[in-house]
C-alpha cells in the first residue's frame, strides 16, 4: 500500500489516480515521472541507482506503462542511414522524414528535410494508412503481461501514443505544416481525419487483443517557450475537433485521458478541458506555465501533473529543492486541486539521484490533502 505523510493509506495507487483524474480529492496527491534515457542508463547507476530496475518500481509510482507506441508510420520498418559521422546520424524514416540524431545524447532530432510537403506527395503516404494492419501493434503478449502485472500490484495502467499535432510535425515538418494550417486547410483536414480514423480502427483492435488500460497518455507538443505554435483560433478550428473526437473515442472504452504538451500552453488549457482531457502534463515551468495560477482558474475542472522546475532541482541543493517543491504543494493543498507530483518535463542527468530522492521525500511528507 502507498503511504502519505506518515499515515497508512487505505487506497491503492490505482484508486488514488482514478479519483484524481475524476477531479476528486482522495487521501493524497499522486506521483509519477519521466526521465531522459541517459539519466537512468548512464548517470544515476554511478550514483547508486540499481541498473535495469524500472523507476516505477524503484520509486513506487502510482502509474506505469503497459505498452508503448502504435506503429503509425505510413511505411513501418523503413529506415535508412543517409549520412553518418562520429557525432550524429542522418536518417530517413517510414514517414519520409530526414532527421539528424546525436549519438551520445537524447533529445529532439534536427529536422533536415521532409518528403511529404504537398497534398500530392501526401497521397502516396496516405494510402497505407487506410488499411487496418495488426502487425502495427508491437509486443502484444508482453503488453498483456505488463497490464496484468500493473493491475496485480494495484498500480494505474497506462498506454501512450502520439496524435495528430505530433504526427504532422513528424511527417510534414514544422516549417511546412504550420503554414499549411492556414494555406492548405483541406489537406490538413484530410491528414487529421485519416489519422483519426487510423487510430480508432487500430485501438479498437489493441483493446480487443491486449485489454483496456485505465488511462491513455496522449503526447501532443502544442507549444514552445513563448506560447502556442499557432493561434488559439487556428487550434480551435484545425486541431481541436480531432482531439475531441479522439478523447471521446477513448472514453467510450472507459479510459481516462492525460494530455502531455511541452511549452507554454496556457492559452490552450480551456480547449483541452473542453475536449475532455482529464489531466494536463507537464506544465513546463521553464516555458512560463504557472501551476498556481492555472489551478486558481481551472483546478476544479481538470487535474494537473508536473511544473516542478528541473532547473531548480539541477542546482542540487536542499534549499533549492525546498523552495521549488514546498510552496507548490502547499498551494495545491490550500486550493484543493487534484495534483500529481512530476517534473516540468523529464528528469535530466544534471539532477543528482540524491537530489531527486530528497524532492520525492518532501512530496511524500506533504502529499496528504
80-108 residue pLDDT tens: 999 999 999 999 999 999 999 998 888 88
What residues have CB less than 8 Å from 124, skipping those under 6 apart?
A: none
Main-chain phi, psi angles of 219, to 5 degrees: -95, 110
Cβ proximity of 171 and 125 under 8 Å = yes
**What cell was used for 157?**
495502467
Residue 102 to residues 42, 85, 91, 174: CA-CA distances in angstroms? Answer: 16, 10, 11, 20
Give domain limits for the chain.
3-74+116-365
Residuewise pLDDT in 10s, the chain (369 residues):
334 444 556 899 999 999 999 999 999 999 999 999 999 999 999 999 998 899 999 999 999 999 978 999 999 999 999 999 999 999 999 999 999 999 888 888 899 999 999 999 999 999 999 999 999 998 999 999 999 999 999 999 999 999 999 999 999 999 999 999 999 999 999 999 999 999 999 999 999 999 999 999 999 999 999 999 999 999 999 999 999 999 999 999 999 999 999 999 999 999 999 999 999 999 999 999 999 999 999 999 999 999 999 999 999 999 999 999 999 999 999 999 999 999 999 999 999 999 999 999 999 999 999
Contact 80, 164 (CB under 8 A): no
Which residues touch 87 (CB under 8 Å, ≥6 apart)?
102, 103, 104
- Quote the pLDDT of residue 6: 44
Q: Which residues pair with 158 in a beta bridge?
A: 65, 215
Q: At what angle do helices 240-252 and 164-171 cross, to 10 degrees?
A: 130
Model pTM score: 0.94
From the candidate CATH numbers 3.40.1390.30, 3.90.1150.10, 3.20.20.210, 3.10.580.10, the one assigned to the domain spanning 3-74+116-365: 3.20.20.210
How far is it, in rounded angstroms, from Cα 16 to Cα 12? Answer: 6
Cβ–Cβ under 8 Å, residues 156 and 17? yes
Question: Residues 105, 109, 112, 114: is their CA dihedral positive or negative?
Answer: positive
Amino acid at each position: 500500500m502507498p503511504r502519505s505523510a506518515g499515515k497508512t493509506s487505505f487506497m491503492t495507487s490505482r484508486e488514488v489516480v482514478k479519483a484524481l483524474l475524476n477531479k476528486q480529492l482522495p487521501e493524497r496527491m499522486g506521483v509519477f515521472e519521466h526521465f531522459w534515457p541517459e539519466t537512468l542508463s548512464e548517470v544515476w547507476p554511478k550514483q547508486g541507482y540499481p541498473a535495469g530496475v524500472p523507476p516505477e518500481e524503484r520509486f513506487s509510482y502510482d502509474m506505469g506503462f503497459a505498452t508503448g507506441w502504435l506503429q503509425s508510420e505510413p511505411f513501418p520498418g523503413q529506415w535508412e542511414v543517409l549520412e553518418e559521422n562520429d557525432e550524429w546520424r542522418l536518417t530517413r524514416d517510414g514517414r519520409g522524414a530526414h532527421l539528424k540524431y546525436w549519438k551520445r545524447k537524447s533529445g529532439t532530432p534536427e529536422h533536415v528535410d521532409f518528403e511529404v510537403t504537398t497534398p500530392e506527395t501526401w497521397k502516396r503516404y496516405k494510402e497505407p494508412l487506410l488499411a487496418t494492419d495488426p502487425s502495427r501493434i508491437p509486443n502484444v503478449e508482453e503488453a498483456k503481461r505488463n497490464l496484468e502485472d500493473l493491475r496485480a500490484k494495484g498500480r494505474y495502467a497506462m498506454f501512450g501514443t502520439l496524435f495528430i499535432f505530433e504526427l504532422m510535425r513528424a511527417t510534414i515538418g514544422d516549417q511546412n505544416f504550420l503554414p499549411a494550417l492556414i494555406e492548405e486547410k483541406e489537406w490538413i483536414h484530410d491528414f487529421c481525419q485519416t489519422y483519426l480514423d487510423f487510430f480508432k480502427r487500430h485501438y479498437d483492435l489493441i483493446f480487443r487483443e491486449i485489454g483496456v488500460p485505465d488511462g491513455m497518455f496522449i503526447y501532443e507538443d502544442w507549444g514552445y517557450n513563448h506560447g502556442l505554435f499557432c493561434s488559439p483560433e487556428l487550434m480551435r478550428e484545425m486541431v481541436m475537433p480531432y482531439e475531441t473526437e479522439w478523447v471521446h473515442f477513448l472514453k467510450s472504452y472507459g479510459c481516462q485521458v492525460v494530455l502531455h504538451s511541452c511549452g507554454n500552453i496556457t492559452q490552450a488549457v480551456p480547449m483541452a478541458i473542453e475536449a475532455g482531457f482529464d489531466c494536463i502534463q507537464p506544465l513546463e515551468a521553464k516555458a512560463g506555465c504557472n501551476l498556481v495560477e492555472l489551478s486558481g482558474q481551472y483546478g476544479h475542472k481538470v487535474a494537473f501533473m508536473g511544473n516542478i522546475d528541473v532547473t531548480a532541482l539541477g542546482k542540487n541543493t536542499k534549499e533549492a529543492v525546498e523552495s521549488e517543491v514546498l510552496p507548490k504543494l502547499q498551494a495545491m493543498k490550500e486550493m484543493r486541486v487534484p495534483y500529481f507530483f512530476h517534473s516540468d518535463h523529464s528528469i535530466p542527468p544534471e539532477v543528482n539521484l540524491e537530489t531527486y530522492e530528497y524532492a520525492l521525500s518532501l512530496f511524500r511528507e506533504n502529499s496528504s490533502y
